[in-house]
Amino acid sequence: MFYPLIRKILFQFDPETVHHWTLRTIRFAGSVPPIAAILRWSYHTHSLPVQLFGITFSNPVGLAAGYDKDGIAWRGLACLGFSHVEIGTVTPLPQSGNPKPRLFRIPEGQAVINQMGFPSQGAQIVAQHLRRTRPKGLVLGVNLGKNKDTPNEEAARDYLALLEIFSPLADYLVVNVSSPNTLGLRQLQARQSLHELLSQLVAKRNSLATRQKYTPLLVKLAPDLSDSELDDALDVLTANQIDGVIATNTTVQRVGMFPRGLANHPLIDQSGGLSGAPLFSLSLRMVQEIVKRTNATLPVIGVGGIITPTQAHQMLDAGAKLIQVYTGLIYNGPAFVKKIVKSLSAC
Ligand SMILES: Cc1cc2nc3c(=O)[nH]c(=O)nc-3n(C[C@H](O)[C@H](O)[C@H](O)COP(=O)(O)O)c2cc1C
């Protein structure tokens, strides 16, 4: 009810600074049991269970990667009604990401452009953050990326090291080859590179599974793949028996993405990944195409531009088994998950 006013105040400040304030506040709230209990009560969602990858998700809505990159606030975020929270992107070694400013809001278009470039405290520290007690029912995903200085030819080494560290800690892992802010990363989506990477990761995951537990391995794709690039990627995913796909990451496209009235907005030409309302139709189409091209055999998590409950319905109607939100949370506030789940359970 008060969020439009809070948002107005928060939007007076630098976006990344506000993000860190918010994250610290949520971390604090999640670590003080009476406050966490009040939050859980306030944002309690209907039970709308989804079975996927042998895991029960209490509802279809999760938090997309990039919000809690270092896994500092996931216990507080769980109080906002998410069935799952995806930590990361985590890189093996700590790195600072791209120079600031690197996060821009376009409120008129309910959009964000980010040029973050995987700032990460590194795998060892993030792993420590994830060893805390798990809130009941929360599914924890970890999104993996390579360090900026690792050439693509050696990327597999980074992902293999991350897989080994995080498979005992995560319910599912995501191979991120689709962020636009790490030079060359998206080339790992090409047929040959993707096959070389995924075949090694799947072999490693399977060998770990015999000693530990089976950890589902997902791949996150960009919305900017052409139809033939998407076909190539899906062939590789299917051939390697990847458990699921997350569609989509942010887009580098700008032309035709914004309504005409915003075409001259000064921030539109910032480079980086565009998320939020303008992304929705691209992501929705990508989900529809994946479902069609795989005959619905590959589970899809739909993400990109979900700003209203109606869009959440549309994404699920397109065949996504789960959905994730990020920018919608910035524009709608903490009650957004509850609002979506309420609307879904009314159907
Ligand atoms: C500031 C910001 C940082 C992000 N960082 C990551 C990241 O580290 N890894 C990743 O896979 N996706 C990242 N994303 C992409 C989101 O997970 C999501 O795929 C994308 O924003 C589309 O969803 P949305 O329109 O609901 O925001 C980031 C998005 C934003 C806005």
Does any ligand 1 atom lie closer than 6 A to the CB of residue 251?
Answer: no
Q: What's the angle, vertex CA 140, arms to CA 208 and CA 10, rounded to 5?
A: 145
Give the chain's domains with CATH numbers. 3-345 (3.20.20.70)
Is the distance from CB of 318 to CB of 293 less than 8 angstroms? no
The C-alpha atoms of residue 105 and residue 333 are separated, in whole angstroms, by: 15
E runs forming strands in the chain: 50-52, 55-57, 61-63, 84-90, 103-106, 111-114, 139-144, 172-176, 217-221, 244-247, 273-276, 300-303, 322-325
| CA–CA gap between residue 49 and residue 52 (Å, rounded) | 10
For residues 237 and 245, the answer to whether their CB atoms sit within 8 Å is: yes
CA 159–ligand 1 middle distance (angstroms):
19
User: Is residue 178 helix, strand or coil?
Assistant: coil
- pLDDT (0 to 100) of residue 150: 97
Strand partners, 218: 174, 244
pLDDT of residue 179: 95
Catalytic-residue membership of 199 = no
Catalytic residue among 83, 179, 275, 283: 179
The residue ranges of the chain whose pLDDT is under 50 are none
Q: What is the pLDDT of residue 215?
A: 97
Best residue among 90, 113, 246, 275 to mutate for probing ligand 1, ranked by most atoms within 8 Å of CB: 275
Question: Do 323 and 301 touch, CB atoms closer than 8 A?
Answer: yes
Q: How is residue 215 written in tokens?
A: 């950890």
> Is the CB of 91 within 6 Å of ligand 1?
no
What's the pLDDT at 228?
A: 97
Q: What is the pLDDT of residue 85?
A: 98
- Rounded distance from Cα 245 to ligand 1 centre (Å): 15
Q: Output the pLDDT for position 2.
A: 87
Residue 199 confidence (pLDDT): 98
Cα(326) to centroid(ligand 1), Å: 6
In the chain the first and final C-alpha atoms are separated, in Å, by 24
Q: Residues near 255 by Cβ (< 8 Å), separated by ≥ 6?
A: none
Cβ-based neighbour number of residue 309 at 10 Å? 18
Q: Is the CB of 332 under 6 A from ligand 1?
A: no
Ligand 1 pocket test: which of 250, 286, 337 has the largest number of ligand atoms within 8 Å of its C-beta? 250
Predicted local confidence at residue 347, as pLDDT: 81
Q: Given this model, what pLDDT does residue 210 score?
A: 79
Residue 212 has what pLDDT?
75
Closest CA to 299 of 52, 49, 56: 52
